[in-house]
């Protein structure tokens, strides 16, 4: 019977993975290469991610260094970063770009925490929607006599346990990112 629950558990895990990626991209005052993951550069007519056309490294706690493999792309990368929503202007030394992450103000920290909590709530809603869909499917199967009433109860219990685990994981991820922002 657990085979019926597995696809729903996998979908819930995808939600957690998506949340983790979203949280990694939040600029928290520290240099983190993940903030560049959503930025693409027009590289010979093809939208290309920065980490596919340059080495990205953390020089210091608040400085990110981008070293393009093709030096002619520095200006394109710089423009793409300025056009993005990360709010940092790169400095160009001819061979590398440097992104200096400013210290976060208390007001900005509170805004970031609010945004992170919203991401967490959205992830919880997605997990609960998956649970709802699963339970509806199991009830339809029971109506069609594909499973028994006891099987329905067992499946409902299993999907609820999976939901509780994933919501706990969401809460932990949000709390960890919140602590990271408030510590800086």
CATH of the domain at 163: 1.10.132.20
**Could you tell me what percent of the chain has a pLDDT over 70?**
97
Q: 122 and 67, same structural domain?
A: no
Q: 134 and 72, same structural domain?
A: no
Q: pTM score > 0.75 for this model?
A: no
pLDDT tens sequence across 116-125? 999 999 999 9
CATH number at residue 76: 3.30.1360.40
Kindly tell me if the per-residue pLDDT of 161 is higher than 90: yes
Q: 113 and 88, same structural domain?
A: no
Q: 154 and 126, same structural domain?
A: yes
Q: 57 and 17, same structural domain?
A: no
pLDDT score for 28: 67
Q: 71 and 115, same structural domain?
A: no
Please indicate whether residue 23 or residue 137 has the higher confidence score (pLDDT). Answer: 137
| Cβ–Cβ under 8 Å, residues 119 and 19 | yes
| Cβ–Cβ under 8 Å, residues 89 and 79 | no
Q: What is the mean pLDDT of the chain?
A: 87
Domain that includes residue 75, residue range:
33-100
Least confident range of 31-35, 57-61, 161-165 = 31-35
End-of-domain residue from the set 84, 100, 116: 100
End-of-domain residue from the set 49, 67, 100: 100
Q: 140 and 79, same structural domain?
A: no
Give the total number of structural domains in the chain: 2
| Cβ–Cβ under 8 Å, residues 73 and 43 | yes
Provide the β-strand partners of residue 64: 58, 99
| Cβ–Cβ under 8 Å, residues 1 and 154 | yes
**How is residue 114 written in tokens?**
């609010």
Please indicate whether residue 27 or residue 151 has the higher confidence score (pLDDT). Answer: 151
Kindly tell me if the per-residue pLDDT of 168 is higher than 90: yes
Q: 176 and 109, same structural domain?
A: yes
| Cβ–Cβ under 8 Å, residues 119 and 23 | yes
pLDDT tens sequence across 64-104? 898 998 888 888 888 888 888 777 888 888 888 898 887 87
Separation between Cα atoms, residue 165 and residue 88, nearest integer Å? 37
């Amino acid at each position: 019977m657990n085979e019926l629950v597995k696809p729903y558990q996998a979908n819930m895990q995808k939600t957690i993975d998506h949340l983790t990626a979203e949280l990694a991209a939040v600029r928290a005052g520290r240099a983190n290469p993940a903030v560049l993951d959503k930025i693409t550069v027009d590289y010979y007519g093809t939208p290309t991610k920065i980490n596919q056309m340059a080495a990205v490294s953390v020089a210091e706690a608040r400085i990110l260094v981008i070293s393009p493999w093709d030096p002619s792309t520095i200006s394109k990368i710089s423009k793409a970063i300025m056009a993005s929503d990360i709010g940092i202007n790169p400095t160009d030394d001819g061979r590398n770009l440097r992104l200096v992450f400013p210290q976060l103000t208390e007001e900005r920290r509170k805004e970031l925490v609010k945004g992170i909590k919203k991401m967490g709530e959205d992830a919880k809603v997605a997990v609960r929607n998956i649970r709802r869909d699963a339970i509806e499917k199991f009830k339809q199967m029971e109506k069609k006599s594909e499973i028994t009433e006891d099987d329905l109860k067992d499946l409902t219990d299993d999907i609820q346990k999976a939901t509780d685990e994933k919501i706990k994981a969401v809460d932990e991820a949000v709390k960890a990112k919140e602590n990271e922002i408030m510590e800086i």
